[in-house]
Chains A and B, each alone.
Chain A
């Protein structure tokens, strides 16, 4: 179960230790290391009002300036999580976590310094600001190039809140437990041997202020329902698990209302979801489908035209487009960990690097409704926006923040700076990166009809890509053979391998915007010490021609 969790960052030892004797059940959750559990009622009691936060923020900014800072910003953050963890007919755990504190970043002598503290008092904050300035001062002695920030407008006092309909933290635990246990019961009634389900809620309450005269108060909500259905063929000893077709979303509890308008029946007879999820229906379907997977035909390796559902394609976009176009990777700042990038500056400067076929336009944004990246302002006080990364197949831009924008001649930051908590320094993180839908009306049915020999893939599975983002391999949840324009039954043991540029140049057709959906994860990992970030990727169902498919069945 644990390794099936769709995390990019795998569970760390410190996460085991942090929880000591507190069991989290069979599902080992990748709980952020900095979070600690709190009681339910504490989640709803606000710590400070905006006026108090502004006063404390000004203490930090003044303290930094008094130590010679040419720039300073401060983030007062309260980060809340809730987990409701179940299996079959049991609640394994209910955990509320909270993390509260202040992070201060300064530029002294053209060099960054950062310090954080959970002592949220005037004295504690001033001390942290002095520490940050002292670190900057020390490191400036071996600094080669001073930090250059592109200007950003002074915002004054502004605020932004995820436009949720229902705050999931206010929904009684009993209601959440009932929902999950009902979904589990349906899975078991429909032939599952085991089912694990959980709800993962996030609320980031963060206040940002900078010496540019910006004071930004934001309240950000995210939700991720998970439901894993396992079936076992006792005769052969084979087992398979079908993962949920939900997505983590920047939404409130309304994501779980399963409204009919959000359901999509695919040509393979599989129900998938847009902006509202029906976990009970999905658990039922999951049990039926996973039993079919056990009996499905093992794939014949070779070249196939792939038809990729958005519930699958988001992860391929993430790995092969989102990561290689992070400017810090391109420049070498991640060389020792996440890696560098094949999408080097000379390719961008040529204005003719064919990243994909002319069908392919990939855009970045921090503004899509319901997305994980959607916020009003980033973690360095820049108003968010949308921009193109690949336009009609050609590489046109990267993802850059205030201290990088000048390198690619951008007059302003892209607004994609993020820190996982008050305790960590903010840096360039992936915004939502999405594939623009086809401009002419074209349905998934029509796409399938046009394929001679192909495989239709729904849901994300195994994933791996090299450190410069050339060679990748992806699995999935459900695979259907396409023969002469028709679905010809289920396949199993499917993975495809390709090269990023070759793959995106094999993109033949994209369905129209009526099929556009988001996928994503809470656990995009980068940096040392590593930080996780939540990000969405939208697309419509898309066809890629002649991709190499391997068979992953083995005997041990």
Chain B
């Protein structure tokens, strides 16, 4: 029973709310079914499926809050979980930052569920693996990959009359192709809601081409270079900066968005004017639920417009405290793109570096959102509009703010996931003066 339809979910949630004796009660019900296959050394290593459904009940008396969950759904279990939450709420200290639950809301209808994806079978997953392994072996390469598909539902209800339901699907595919002499490596990612958009062979071929082209890389001197960052190369730097866009931290003076003397940089132009960053649960390429976990409607929200900071994320407490509208953490991140293809962008580059992806990106200084990390699985030197030769991987130390100021060109968008596993739509970026600080021998 991991996936409940709207009526089944509603029935359980209504029962929970009717059992509540607290001042306020809110319940979230989530379920998912995942199937996955993993392969390495040109053979399947593991495959499996995971499913679970769980109910979270939050009860409050005044400013005292308690939380409890369960994954059994008979009447006695539902009663038990509600009583436990209430008991914890009675024991909890008062939280001065407590915020009352929301009243009824209106939601857009979401388009995050794709029937095609639900119909994926174990046989399909095996074929995905074969689509990588067979051509890899034929090219003297070794494939290691992972494919996972998921069918999820989420529902919530509270004692002030909020009810929300959503169903979503997704799939994510990555494959690494390594040359058998250990001198080259290529990689690709595909991320979709609808499996009909996915071709394992097409994707695997890109990783194969990169692996073959990247063999025997040359060392170049670290320093400042013009880079063409494929979407998978910039997503982590963008995502990590985005996680630092909380209003409270900015107001408190401990964020890159903090100004001097208690001000923030809201309304300031921090980035190149071609930078536009927003979230939209209805975007057809990255559709999500249209409500946040607390039942608040998710709408299109502009974060950066023409390089200007337009919005920061808020908790409900902080929005109330500041007397401003609540801006919840979004469900996707979209950066506006252009029409130039990767080939066009390479053609327009006199000297530069093409970066397939970046790896192990970690914050060095939150004040400047400075990150370090390395290139991986396909790094190439470009001269006079052509890829000249593969180069050795390099470590960078760069601020996302600097990166988004040094924009030369913006290309087509692709759907990718960063380390936080949020599906985002990010364009290829051409950036000048990107700072590489050392060489790596890694392949």
Contact = CB atoms under 8 A, between A and B. Distances in A.
Given A462-B372, A464-B373, A470-B440, A17 B154 contact: yes
27 contacts: A3-B243, A10-B419, A12-B421, A20-B156, A20-B294, A21-B292, A21-B295, A22-B58, A36-B70, A38-B68, A38-B69, A39-B87, A90-B95, A177-B93, A234-B261, A236-B260, A336-B145, A464-B372, A466-B374, A467-B359, A469-B442, A470-B441, A475-B364, A495-B397, A499-B441, A528-B38, A552-B364
A550 B420 CA distance: 28
Contact of B363 (A3, A230, A469): A3
A118 B397 contact: no
Interface in B157-196: 174-176, 178, 187
B364 A332 contact: no
Contact of B293 (A19, A118, A239): A19
B114 interface: no
Given A18-B30, A40-B91, 9 more contacts: A1-B254, A23-B315, A39-B68, A92-B95, A114-B46, A139-B47, A237-B258, A464-B362, A473-B437
B141 to A, nearest CB: 11
B261 A464 contact: no
Contacts of B97: 90, 92
Contacts of A10: 419-420
Contact of B420 (A13, A462, A555): A13
B366 interface: yes
Pairs A-B, 6 closest by C-beta atoms: A20-B293, A21-B294, A20-B28, A471-B440, A335-B144, A466-B442
Interface in B1-48: 26, 28, 30, 34, 36, 38, 40-41, 43-48
Contacts of A143: 43-44
Interface centre among B67, B97, B393 (most CB of A within 10 A): B67
B41 A331 contact: yes
Nearest to A461: B364
Given A3-B243, A90-B97, A464-B373, A239 B254 contact: yes
B67 A95 contact: yes
A214 B438 CA distance: 51
A158 interface: no
A171 interface: no
Contacts of A21: 26, 28, 58, 101, 156, 292-295
Given A39-B87, A142-B43, A335-B178, A232 B30 contact: no
A34 B32 CA distance: 12
A14 interface: yes
A336 B175 contact: yes
A544 interface: no
A260 interface: no
Q: Interface extent on A, as a size class?
A: 35 or more
Interface string B385-421: 0000000010101010110000000000000000111
B370 to A, nearest CB: 5
Interface in B427-443: 437-443
B235 interface: no
B326 to A, nearest CB: 13
Given A23-B315, A193-B253, A466-B440, A555 B52 contact: no
Contacts of B420: 10-13
A428 interface: no
B126 A40 contact: no
A144 B129 CA distance: 14
Interface string A520-554: 00000000110000000000000000001010111
Contacts of B370: 552, 554
B362 A238 contact: no
Given A115-B48, A464-B360, A556-B369, A471 B71 contact: no
Contacts of A135: 47-48
B442 A554 contact: no
B58 A239 contact: no
Nearest to A337: B146
Contacts of B36: 528-529
A333 interface: yes
Interface in A316-355: 331-337, 339-340, 342
Interface residues of B, number: 105
Contacts of B373: 464
A178 B260 CA distance: 34
B361 interface: yes
B361 A464 contact: yes
Given A3-B243, A230-B254, A468 B442 contact: yes
Contacts of A239: 253-254, 258, 366-367
A335 B359 contact: no
Given A239-B367, A337-B146, A556 B256 contact: yes
A495 B373 CA distance: 13
B376 interface: yes
B397 A550 contact: yes
A465 interface: yes
Contacts of A17: 30, 154, 293
A382 to B, nearest CB: 20
Interface of A: 1-4, 10-14, 16-23, 26, 34, 36-42, 90-92, 94-95, 97, 112, 114-116, 118, 135, 138-139, 142-145, 173, 177, 193-194, 230, 232, 234-239, 241, 331-337, 339-340, 342, 423, 425, 462-471, 473, 475, 493, 495, 497, 499, 528-529, 548, 550, 552-556
Interface in B196-248: 240, 243-244, 248
B112 interface: no
A337 B54 CA distance: 29
A239 B422 CA distance: 29
Given A4-B366, A95-B67, A528-B36, A14 B421 contact: yes
B144 A333 contact: yes
A416 B47 CA distance: 22
B278 interface: no
Contacts of A22: 28, 56, 58, 67, 293
A333 B252 CA distance: 45
A238 B367 contact: yes
Interface in B253-297: 253-254, 256, 258-262, 270, 292-295
Nearest to A117: B51
B259 to A, nearest CB: 7
Given A234-B253, A467-B376, A336 B174 contact: yes
A473 B395 contact: yes
A470 B295 CA distance: 47
A350 B362 CA distance: 35
B56 A466 contact: no
